[in-house]
Amino acid sequence: MRRPLLALLIVAGAFPVPAEAARRSTSAIVSEIMIRAIEDFIQPGYQRFHLASGELTADVERLCAPPSDKALQKARAAFSKTAVAWSHIEIVRFGPVAGENRYERILFYPDRRGVGLKQVQSLVNGFEPYPQTLAELQGKSVALQGLPALEYALSGTGAEALASTESSDRCHYAQLVANNIQSIARELDEAWADPEGVSRLWMNPGSDNPVIRDNREALVELLGVVVHGIEMIRDIRLRGLFGETPESDRPNAAIYRRAGVTFASIAANLQGIQSLFETAGMTLVLAPEEREIGYRISEELAGAIALTQSLDGAPSDLMHSPEGRANLEELRDRLARIKTLTNEDYGNAVGLTAGFSFADGD
Amino acid sequence: MIMTRRFFIGTATAGLAGLAGVLPEPVLASGKDLFAAAWMQNGGAGFSILDGDGNELTSVPLPDRGHDVATDRAGRWAVAFARRPGTFAVAVDRQKGSEPIPFSSPEDRHFFGHGVFSPDNRLLYATENDYDNAAGMIGIYDVTAGFNRIGEFPSYGIDPHELILMPDGKTLCIANGGIETHPDFGRAKLNLASMEPSVVFVDTESGEMLEKHTPPAELFRLSTRHMDIDAGGNVWVGCQYEGPETDEPPLLLRVTKGEGYKPVMLPDEARHGLLNYVGSVAANRNENRLVITSPHGNCALVLDTTSGNLVEKIEETNVCGAVAQGSGFLLSSAEGDFGNAKLGRSWDNHIARLL
């Protein structure tokens, strides 16, 4: 059974303690944070994604036989729910999601050269044959296997016909893709839920542990999820579509624009970061006099989430209005502040002299 | 934001002009080994020339974070390159001690942080990204004409990182990391499901590829990035793995021109300690030794290049920079360590020796 976090807080910060004892206490807090990150964020996150993908599969199957407007709307709603559930947990890039191209098979994005779009269009336009089985689909390009491909099948050009065409090839393809997403979601859920599996490795740093040897590495890994998550939103989600000038905008590159959940997805990305940071209690690893940094991170995250949730309408409409541009610029500024707070201020406070990103690969 | 050439030169010149009082004096070898390395400090960036005891002879500001420094064989030039996706480079003439010369990659290219001089010191080759076409390029700069860019040839892969000149003086060995990036998306890795790492030998006179060595299909996420050459002419390539942390790929390859590559088997504990990331590779050819460093794993491994056996493991927080010194190696870290000295700078991934 885990100790109450409040008890740890008292040990670590409320009373003066000898240096050695303080070190041990900080170490205990890091272990606690890692356990909470896995049990209260990662495991439920993948579980929610798995459940949503199951509902999506069922709703797409119902759409194919018999088709109807209502069934199409339901399948689209299930897609949106699944995309948002994935957005909440997609900031986790370590563990099983890094294997067997699982991340890219769920989400091939950004598609800078439109490769994925062209491949899906080749299927729906009849230039290439549809895959007929799940195994056949899994042998094809990752761009044909995941959420963007399914989004196009359900909401792209010509998708309205799904509501009226019996046993269409396009609907069968959508079924296969939904099945594939569910299959990967199951693998991720089960891998993290296994008490003897990957979660055990990440919760128990040790010298013989192949992935994480001590509390410092554990904390760096978690901080990496936060910093890289913010970078991903800033560089891939926002900068990928919102330019410095209107001429450099690319609203058609917005993620999930056909499903209409671009900003719901970005808000879910931010909520995932918030959930990890706060549920795990990452502020508590800071010395009491440094905890203001953690509170400011929480405050900025809450502000960024509220702002993103208030963004209404298609990305192109937002970018055409002065108010919309101002809001997107404010989001960009907030992300920059969160990046500095997490990468530099928090990183320095936990002993990463040059900030977290300094050791980022090159 | 992508810096245009004009923007960069303006920025860089302004930054350098602001520090005119500390512009370099002539920095000549005086019996002591001299080194160069890029650094960050309190949000500012630069590179320094210093001796092995950490005494800085000169320090030059950079407009943003640098990476490696290329040095010529005549003891004249030291050129610091921007870290990707940066577009600037800054050359210092050690003999004249004149104002540093900034230059840029073309508008549709950025640097990857590494370069190497031709044997006659007249040309500088730099690894670059033709990002709109996701193609690696080697930019050719005329040292005698103010580092004017006079041409390019392909790296025959994506993401060329470090490159070295082979002993024949006309063949480049290039480590193509295989990861697609584009400045529109910052430093994000865009093709992890279809990476194409390779080690390539290219004839500098014709620009033609002589040999290309690629890891087997199951190791397609093994990014080949840093390298040095041993006394026998073998190239040792340090890798960074982009797959699951629980995988155990070879992190060091030995490539022999005309033969191909062999993975270097490290003892389990040593390999685990690298955390699937090698940040720098340096050979000590006189001693038949090689060091590979891992800032992620906070360690450096010294190997015997004749046997491939592990000789020593050095534990040091955030260690990455490495270069041969005397009978061993000089190491630096992001924590400020430079050999036995401790400076208030976070040293970047590499140390270059000045000849």
The predicted model scores a pTM of: 0.91
Exposed, middle or buried by CB within 10 Å (0-12, 13-18, 19+), for A303?
middle
CA-closest candidate to residue B277, choices B319, B234, B339, B313: B319
Residue B56 has pLDDT above 70, yes or no: yes
Q: Two tokens at A71?
A: 């069934």
What is the phi-psi region of residue B19: left when phi exceeds 0, alpha when psi lies from -120 to 50, beta otherwise? alpha
Residue A14 counted as domain residue:
no
Residues of chain A in contact with residue B277, where contact means CB-CB under 8 angstroms, are: 361
Kindly write down the DSSP assignment for every residue of B179-214, as one continuous string: ----GGGTT----GGG---EEEEEETTT--EEEEE-
Task: Give the nearest chain A residue to B295 (CA atoms).
Answer: A359
Q: What does the DSSP 8-state code read for residue B21?
A: G
Q: How far apart (Å, rounded) are the C-alpha atoms in residues A181 and A119?
A: 18
- Give me the domain span that covers residue B90: 5-23+34-354
Decide if B29 is inside a domain: no
Does residue A99 belong to the interface with chain B, where contact is any CB pair within 8 Å? yes
Which pLDDT band holds residue B25 (cuts at 50, 70, 90)? low
* A100 found inside a domain: yes
Question: Does the residue A200 lie in any domain?
Answer: no
Beta-carbon contacts of B142 under 8 Å, excluding residues fewer than 6 positions away, are B122, B123, B148, B149, B150
CATH of the domain at B127: 2.130.10.10
Residue B1's pLDDT band (boundaries 50, 70, 90)?
very low
Of A133, A160, A193, which marks where a domain is finished? A193
Pair B38, B89: CB distance under 8 Å: no
Total domains in the fold of chain A: 2
Assign B24 a pLDDT band (cuts: 50, 70, 90): low
Shared-domain flag, residues A185 and A262: no
Identify whether B227 is part of a domain. Answer: yes
Statement to judge: residues A228 and A336 lie in one domain: yes
Q: Is residue B160 part of a domain?
A: yes
User: Which 3 state secondary structure label does DSSP give B303?
Assistant: strand
A362 vs B: CB within 8 A: yes
Evaluate whether residue B17 is within a structural domain: yes
A162 and A229 fall within a common domain: no
Say whether both A238 and A318 belong to one domain.
Answer: yes
Q: Could A362 and B113 be called an inter-chain contact, meaning their C-beta atoms sit closer than 8 Å?
A: yes
B28 within a domain of the structure (yes/no): no
Among A135, A161, A193, give the residue marking a domain's end.
Answer: A193
Domain shared by A230 and A177, yes or no = no
Neighbours of B346 (CB within 10 A): 24
B166-186 per-position pLDDT tens digit: 999 999 999 999 999 999 998
- A187 with A260, same domain: the answer is no
User: What was the ipTM of the complex prediction?
Assistant: 0.89
- CA atoms of A337 and B52, how far apart (whole Å): 38
Residues of A within 8 A of B318 (CB-CB) are: 353-354, 358-359
Which among B83, B185, B190 has the least Cβ separation from residue A362? B83
* CATH code, A127: 1.20.1420.20
One digit per residue, the tens of pLDDT, for chain A of length 362 reads: 333 333 333 334 333 333 444 444 566 777 889 999 999 999 999 999 999 999 999 999 999 989 999 999 999 999 999 999 999 999 999 999 999 999 999 999 999 889 999 999 999 999 999 999 999 999 999 999 999 999 999 999 999 999 998 779 999 999 999 999 999 999 999 999 999 999 999 998 888 888 888 888 888 889 999 999 999 999 999 988 898 889 999 999 999 999 999 999 999 999 999 999 999 999 998 999 999 999 999 999 999 999 999 998 899 999 999 999 999 999 999 999 999 999 999 999 988 877 777 777 68
**Which residues of B touch chain A, with CB atoms under 8 Å apart?**
1, 40, 67, 83-84, 113, 134, 161, 182, 184-188, 190, 192-194, 225, 240, 242-248, 272, 275, 277, 279, 295-296, 318, 320, 334-336, 346, 349
A152 burial via Cβ count (<10 Å: 0-12, 13-18, 19+): buried
Structural domain of A133: 48-193
Of A123, A158, A193, at which residue does a domain stop? A193
Residues A158 and A276 in one domain: no
Number of domains in chain B: 1
* Contact between B76 and B91 (Cβ < 8 Å): no
Evaluate whether residue B197 is within a structural domain. yes
Maximum alpha-carbon separation in chain A? 74
